[in-house]
Amino acid sequence: MIFILRFHAEITVKSRSLRQRHSKVLTGNVRTLMKEISPAIKVRNQWDKLSVEVPNESDLCQAALSRLRRIPGISHIEEVAQIAFTDFDTLLAFVLAHREDVLMNRSFAVRVKRKGKHDFSSQELAAYIGGGICARVAGSHVQLKDPQQLVKIWLDQDEASVEIQRYAGLGGYPIPTQETALSLISGGFDSAVATYAMMRRGARTHFCFFNLGGAEAHEAAVKEVSYFLWERFSKSHAVKFVSVDFSEVVNRILIQDQPSLMGVLLKRAMLRASALVAERVKAQAVVTGEALGQVSSQTLSNLKVIDEVTPMLVLRPLIVSDKQDIVNQAHEIGVGQMAAAIPEYCGVISNKPTVKAQRAALLEGEQTLTDELIAKVVHEAQVIDIREVPKVTQETAKISEISSTDALSSASVVLDIRAPEEEERAPLTLNQAKVKHVPFFKLTKQIENYSKDQELVLYCDQGVMSRMQALRLREQGFQNVSVLSAVNS
């Protein structure tokens, strides 16, 4: 089977030298990824297109097509049948052999494109093929405008190709025709879609995760999302996954006396740290999933003061996107279910957050967030090759081992680990047990107040964050831990 790969339209209008560069990079990427499927697959660069010849085996063809549709730089993919061109009648018989079944009782038009010298015109060949189809295929008729079927023929010197089917490609630019970027990945919808956008645009994109709650299961889930995005859209080039333990930074933000600034303080600290990580992985820009006005820290005023902490270029591919559009795209690229299962930690630590943080107040709140602290957490960050991340980690699998319960006793202590504003909107009250509100980001320190044989039941709205934190407590020796499965007032 032969697939013809057509370049993204923006590549075709570039100068000859840039087009050659993009073509060469794309050829290398396709060869690398096809070789993983089968060394028998042949890839040829033909200046205005690439051809991929796959052994005529169903599994190989499907695997090759699936991968080709996810390689940045390809506008669309044409599955074609080829024959040596000798005369009109032979080509007509070839067209009928491959297209007769879809032309029966349908309107159609024939489109011919030629390269080379021939003693006939493209219109003459199209008219002959069209007339032959009408004479031989029941119910078929020519309709040049908006036909039900198109018969596409390419004639290159003495070789003819007939399109069997067309598939949409990913578009964008080949990786790494653009410079390197560092994506701040939380595992949620926004950061996942923003990362995909950069990959599609041709940027080799590393991952940086700030672990705010200290939960290994959360980090494992984010690694799984990152691995999925890389494997699906960026596998031609290895990248790094950087995990930064930000718990001490969060703790220092929590103890300052300006709770409305917490979200902006956290974002500023993240940018300061990510700039150092970007230098470490030789990235030219930091990428976030922020969208204008989506939360309080994403107003223009707050984004302005957030960006002031670093000279590093900050890219926000989703800045004018609607949330539902982001969620829809996450599902379209296959990451939606994973993203939905990961709680959004970032931005939940503010209490009645401001939409217009004042610089002087921020500087006061950052007195304990020293450059030495930021440099220390970045220096201690874990850096791994994305290829070392398994698709399903042991930590993620362990989450399902955490039991749920709705049977509470007077000895039970229910820990409501939701963010303060979530708890304020819908306070948890139970008749059967004590309820303590301990936001997840304070759990590390406050858990010291409980004995390891205490019956602890964790609660959050969706049950995901509570399972992650319950797993973490299990690892610390708290064996009598479960999550609340039902709320009975």
Q: Does the annotation count 460 as an active-site position?
A: yes
Q: Which residues pair with 52 in a beta bridge?
A: 3, 43
User: Tokens 């044409």 belong to which residue?
Assistant: 78
What one-character-per-residue DSSP string does 188-249 give? Answer: SHHHHHHHHHHHHTTEEEEEEEEESS--HHHHHHHHHHHHHHHHHH-TTS--EEEEEE-HHH
C-alpha distances in angstroms, 245 versus 175, 181, 249, 311, 419?
Answer: 30, 21, 9, 23, 20
Beta strands 240-245; 382-385: pairing state:
antiparallel
User: Which amino acid belongs to residue 369?
Assistant: L
Q: State whether residue 71 is helix, strand or coil.
A: coil
Q: State phi, psi for 413 to the nearest 5 degrees.
A: -120, 115
Q: Chain centroid to CA 417: how far?
A: 28
Cis before 427? omega within 30: no
CA dist., res. 273 & res. 306, Å (int): 13
Query: Which residues belong to the active site?
Result: 460
